[in-house]
Amino acid sequence: MKFKSKILNSTLGTIFRATAKYLKHDNFYVLSNKIIKILSIIVFPLIIYGLIAGLFLAPSDEVQGDGFRIIYVHVPAAFLSLFVYTNLAIFSGIYLVWRIKLFDMLAKASAEIGAVFTFIALVTGSIWGKPMWGTWWIWDARLTSELILLFLYWGYLAIRQSIPNEKSAAKIASFVAVLGIINVPIVHFSVNWWFTLHQGSTISNFTNIKIASSMAYPLVAMILSFVLLYVIIILLKVRNIVLKNKLQKLDLAGAI
Amino acid sequence: MAELISMHGYGIYVWSCYGITTVLVGYNILKPFFVHRKAMRILKDN
């Protein structure tokens, strides 16, 4: 008892209390509205810079010519496919342990947009592969593991759609999401672990960038833009779930 | 301008990638935005 009150009175306790306030759906709704507005102001100039610099200002690649400009959408989408899945597994894990509904809502929203980013990564990679490798698709370790990642996202969403009991669906889907995290390091390290046609990482960390700065800055801007877009989209989706729950209480959910 | 579109033969690949990404990401931003507006209107009316 004494130990518990010691924790609650500490700095950690203050941080916990400040954060816990936003686990209430109404408070989270208000907070998400503010965050969406702030991030929208930041993301707009960042994405404009990334697009203009990537498409028109960065010089052509010596080997790949102008075809390399596909990386400004392919690499951010591929990065997000892994980043979002990691978040999905964390949110699902928190939901499984503490049964906090908000994290289940965040997980569901993450799965929906994560599947879209993975699909974009696969399609743009395939379009890039045609002029560079001479084929749309090859059963390469990176491509195959990324395709499995897409199936994991679709599997998670299919479970949520197919089980009528919402609580059971959330529990089973969360369990599958946590198990599926094993595929994330496989996708990331596949180019190192196996001999693949897919090239190695362009940016493995921000201190070891292997391309010229005029090419790298727009890429970093696009990756940051995609991360901010992901946050904006999940907040847009979660605040809609909060509103839908309110409408359900008023028996008006069928109207949207 | 023509050079910008053709990108030395890579234009069809580059522009289609940007087009697909814009449509998919744009749809996922606009759809929840309009759903929210509709839900707010219903809440206000009731």
Domain residue spans in chain A? 34-255
R_g of chain B, CA atoms, integer Å? 18
Amino acid at A9: N
Report field, pTM of the whole predicted structure over 0.80: yes
CATH level 2 (architecture), domain A34-255: Up-down Bundle (1.20)
**Alpha helices of A99-212 — where are they, by DSSP H?**
101-133, 141-162, 166-180, 183-193
- State chain B's maximal CA–CA distance in angstroms: 58
- CB contact set of A104 (below 8 Å; sequence gap of 6+): A91, A92, A95, A170, A174
Residues of A in contact with B38 (CB under 8 A): 255-256
Which pLDDT tens digit goes with each residue over A173-229? 999 999 999 999 999 888 888 877 777 766 665 566 678 889 999 999 999 999 999
**Record: contact A236-B21, CB cut-off 8 A:** no
Burial of A21 from C-beta contacts in 10 A (0-12 / 13-18 / 19+)? exposed
Q: What are A90's two structure tokens? A: 């964390």
Instruction: Compute the distance between CA of residue A106 and CA of residue A238 in angstroms, rounded to an integer.
Output: 6
Q: Chain B interface, mutation test: which of A29, A108, A236, A239, most B Cβ atoms within 10 Å?
A: A236
- Whether residue A26 is predicted with pLDDT greater than 80 in this model: the reply is yes
| Chain B environment of A113 (Cβ under 8 Å) | 28
Q: What are phi and psi of A62, to 5 degrees?
A: -60, -40
Give the list of residues 6+ apart from residue A128 with CB closer than 8 angstroms, or none. A67, A70, A71, A74, B13, B17
- Which of A67, A123, A239 is facing B10, going by the closest CB pair? A67
Q: Please compute the mean of the pLDDT values over residues A134-159 and round it to a whole number.
A: 95
- b/e A118-139 (16+ beta carbons within 10 angstroms → b): bbbbbbbbbbbbebbeeeeeee
Domain ranges of chain B: 2-45
Cβ neighbours of A225 (radius 10 Å): 23
> CA–CA separation, B42 vs A29, rounded Å?
17
What was the pLDDT predicted at A117? 98
Q: Which of B4, B24, B31 is nearest to A55 (CA)?
A: B4
CA distance B37 to A43: 22
- pLDDT value for A4: 61
Tokens of B40: 């707010």
**Cα separation, A188 vs A181, whole angstroms:** 12
- Interval A88-102 mean pLDDT: 96
Q: What are phi and psi of A135, to 5 degrees?
A: -145, 150
Cβ of B13 within 8 Å of Cβ of A128? The answer is yes
Question: A interface mutation test: which of B4, B13, B31 has the most A CBs within 10 A?
Answer: B13
Q: Which of B9, B21, B35 sits opposite A120 (nearest CB)?
A: B21
Nearest to B24 among A51, A74, A116 (CB): A116
Q: Which residue of B has its CA nearest to A128?
A: B13
Task: Check residue A209 and give its pLDDT.
Answer: 66
Q: Which residues on B lie below 8 Å from A236 (Cβ)?
A: 29, 32-33, 36
> Could you give the 3-state DSSP secondary structure of residue A61?
strand
Give the tokens for residue A20.
């816990």
